[in-house]
């Protein structure tokens, strides 16, 4: 009798993710996987980071959505090279989809690849894409209780970006509650409070990304 366990399927994704990681490393590209709820501000964050980071390397984007090209159109209109993955119902990107998307995407040595995952606080957490690091966006309108309710994704990330902080006066959202819950769940994670609208916190986030890229390069060199 042959038994195929679900864990083996995840393992296949891990192998493909490792292949992606080797490819990204050889191409000299730093890859950021961006997760978050629908409408949390993932595309806007990429737009904002692109305008800050473009003097620090070329920027390419992979967009994941169930259907349509709304976000890819938005980023294309800003002159960013972007490949749209339509998952046709799947609730997350996987390493195989990302590998397929790389075919049509110009990547520059010393550049950045931002991968916008499907809007979902659950499914993408379990799928490594071969990224260097992962960011989870939590927007102020979603509420500060989301770390308690969706622990897996917040455990899996190197940074939590509290977005739309310009809206804090209109919501009962306390960033300190996010920090406290996270300090128990994932004490290594960095926390940023940003507004892509006003620019607040974006410079700090960009600097952190640059520092992480440098640290990754040193790790490899060392």
Binding site for a copy of itself (CB under 8 A): 37-40, 65-68, 70-71, 89-91, 118-123, 139, 141-143, 145-146, 148-152, 164, 167, 170
Residue 143 CB, shortest distance to a copy of itself, in Å, is: 5
C-alpha to C-alpha distances, 151 to 24, 120, 178, nearest whole angstrom = 29, 13, 12
Nearer CB in complex with a copy of itself: 1/220 = 1
Residue 140 CB, shortest distance to a copy of itself, in Å, is: 8
Q: Cα–Cα distance between 205 and 193 in angstroms, integer?
A: 9
List CB contacts of 85: < 8 A, sequence separation 6 or more.
62, 63, 64, 65, 93, 97, 98, 100, 101
Nearer CB in complex with a copy of itself: 23/171 = 171
Nearer CB in complex with a copy of itself: 173/192 = 173
Residue 119 CB, shortest distance to a copy of itself, in Å, is: 6
For residue 58, give the DSSP letter.
-
Residue 187 CB, shortest distance to a copy of itself, in Å, is: 18
Contact, 45 vs 52, CB < 8 A?
Answer: no
What are 201's two structure tokens? Answer: 């916190």
Residue 174 CB, shortest distance to a copy of itself, in Å, is: 14
Nearer CB in complex with a copy of itself: 4/220 = 4
C-alpha to C-alpha distances, 1 to 11, 38, 137, nearest whole angstrom = 21, 42, 44
Nearer CB in complex with a copy of itself: 77/122 = 122
C-alpha to C-alpha distances, 88 to 75, 91, 96, nearest whole angstrom = 21, 9, 15
């Amino acid at each position: 009798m042959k038994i195929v366990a679900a864990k083996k399927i995840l393992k296949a994704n891990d192998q493909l993710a490792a292949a992606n990681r080797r490819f990204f490393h050889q191409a000299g590209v730093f890859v950021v996987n961006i997760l978050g709820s629908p409408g949390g501000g993932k595309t806007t964050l990429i737009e904002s980071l692109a305008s800050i980071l473009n003097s620090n390397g070329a920027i390419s984007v992979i967009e994941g959505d169930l259907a349509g090209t709304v976000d890819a159109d938005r980023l294309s209109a800003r002159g960013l090279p972007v490949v749209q993955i339509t998952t046709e119902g799947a609730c997350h990107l996987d390493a195989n989809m990302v590998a397929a998307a790389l075919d049509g995407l110009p990547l520059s040595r010393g550049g950045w690849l931002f991968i916008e995952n499907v809007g979902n606080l659950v499914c993408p957490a379990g799928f490594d894409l071969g990224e260097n690091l992962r960011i989870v966006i939590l927007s102020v309108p979603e509420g500060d209780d989301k770390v308690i309710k969706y622990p897996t994704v917040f455990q899996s990330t190197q940074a939590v970006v509290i977005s739309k902080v310009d809206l804090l006066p209109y919501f009962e959202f306390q960033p300190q509650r996010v920090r406290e819950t996270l300090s128990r769940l994932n004490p290594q994670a960095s926390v940023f409070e940003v507004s892509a609208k006003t620019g607040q916190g974006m410079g700090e986030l960009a600097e952190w990304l640059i520092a992480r890229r440098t640290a990754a390069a040193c790790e490899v060199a060392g």
